[in-house]
Amino acid sequence: MISAGMDLGTQRVKVVILKDNQIVAKSQQISGFEPTKAAEEAFQEALQTAKLSREDIEHITATGAGVKMAPYADSTVSMMGADAKAGAYFFPSARTIIDIGAEDARAVKCDENGVMIDFVVNARCAAGAGTFIEAMARALEVELDDMGSLSLEAEKASPINASCVIFAESDVVSLIHKEEPKTEIARAIFDAMAERVSSMVLRLGINKDIVLVGGVAKDVGFVASLKRRLGTEILIPEEPLYAGAVGAALIAAKKAGRRRR
């Protein structure tokens, strides 16, 4: 049984190919201005890695903000549904999946079978999504990948109006003028973002285990702030970026299985 999952995010397209529910290939591309093309490229690359041809794929399921950009997909699944499936696949004990992408964030409550029970979404404010960290890294003039380790060096956070990306940008500029340590500014940014995300999670209640996925899960600074804020351990899969695609591929496998019978 071979299936594929495509997650067409606002920033990246992720593709995963599963063979008997094991990941055999994964690939990603920047969505850019032509997400359709990016999706096609990512898909071809994944096929090459898996040494498969398109005909070998029994079912393709697409998800993500740009789900319409993959009309050739056999089915689609909501981002929340894909998150729940992937969370339970990575960690059978998962009951809450937090997915933070470039422009949106979700908290999904699920049962032991990876079926979604409830969810909360923020797609209206950039302060709770990956874009926030990117904008702040630019304002601080540090590499995005260095933001996390920088923040871990701080013992306290700078005072900052971090409820809004636009306001935080001007605040960061003034803090730099005041020669405030960059480490403390970085910490303030992650703390503020963790505050946003945790308020979303708390609306569902703390249901352990909590799994963090999405590109931001790779950021050690954010993970540390979120753990502090939620006061609990957080599980992170090896490839958090691919969670949506894995979830979609799992759903594709299930659909293909049904069709066979």
Partner 1 sequence: METKEEKQEFWRWLEYHSVMPGKNWQNADIITAGVDVGSVGSKAVVMADGEMYSWSVMRTGSNSSDSAKKALEWAMEDTGLTVKDLNYIVGTGYGRVNVPMANKAITEIACHAKGANYIWGPTVRTVLDVGGQDVKAIRIDETGKVVSFLMNDKCAAGTGRGMEVIADLLQIPIEEVGKVSLSVTEDPKPVSSTCVVFAKTEAVGLLRQGWSKEKVLAAYMKAMAIRMSELIEKVGCEKDFVITGGQSKNIGIVHRVEEILGIKRLPVPSLEQTGLDPVSAGAIGAALYAKALHEKALRR
Binding site for partner 1 (CB under 8 A): 33, 103, 124-126, 131, 135, 161, 163-167, 170, 173-174, 177-178
- Whole-angstrom CA distances from 127 to 24, 187, 201 are 35, 15, 15
Nearest distance from C-beta of residue 111 to partner 1, angstroms: 33
Measured from the CB atom, the residue of 117 and 166 that comes closer to partner 1 is: 166
- Residue 84 CB, shortest distance to partner 1, in Å, is 26
Least distance CB 165 / partner 1 (angstroms):
5
Q: Report, in Å, the least distance between residue 69 CB and partner 1.
A: 14
- Report, in Å, the least distance between residue 153 CB and partner 1: 24
Look at phi and psi of residue 20 and say left if phi exceeds 0, alpha if psi is from -120 to 50, else beta.
Answer: left
Q: Smallest gap, in angstroms, from Cβ of residue 10 to partner 1?
A: 8
Pairing of strands 96-100, 210-213: parallel
